[in-house]
Amino acid sequence: MNNSGDIAETLSGLERQVFLAVRHAGQAQVNDVLARLADDGRDLAYTTVMTVLVRLWEKGYVIRQKKGKAYLYATRDQAEIAGEIGGRVVRDALERYGAGALTGLVQTLTPEQRAIVVRLLAEGAPGAGADGGSTDA
Q: Which CATH number characterizes residue 63's domain?
A: 1.10.10.10
Query: What pLDDT, on a 0 to 100 scale, did the predictor assign at position 130?
Result: 40
Let me know if residue 93 belongs to a domain: yes
Residue 116, strand partner residues? none
53 and 111 in a common domain: no
Residue 135 has pLDDT above 50, yes or no: no
72 and 11 in a common domain: yes
Taking only the tens place, the pLDDT of each residue in 42-97 is 999 999 999 999 999 999 999 999 999 999 999 999 888 988 888 888 899 999 99
Residue 132 has pLDDT above 80, yes or no: no
Average pLDDT, the chain: 86
104 and 72 in a common domain: no
**Of 33, 51, 52, nearest in space to 43 by CA:** 33
Let me know if residue 57 belongs to a domain: yes
Give the whole-number percent of the chain exceeding pLDDT 90. 55
89 and 67 in a common domain: no
Let me know if residue 136 belongs to a domain: no
Contact 72/64 with Cβ under 8 angstroms? yes
Query: What pLDDT, on a 0 to 100 scale, did the predictor assign at position 19?
Result: 95
* DSSP string over 73-110: EEEPPHHHHHHHHHHHHHHHHHHHHTHHHHHHHHHH--
Give the whole-number percent of the chain exceeding pLDDT 70. 88
Query: Does residue 56 or residue 2 have the better pLDDT?
Result: 56
Query: What pLDDT, on a 0 to 100 scale, did the predictor assign at position 131?
Result: 40
40-54, 104-118, 120-134: least confidently modelled range: 120-134
Cα 88 from Cα 20, distance rounded (Å): 23
Query: 8-45 burial string, b = 16+ CB within 10 Å, else e?
Result: beebeebbbbbbbbbbebeebbbebbbebbeeeeeeee
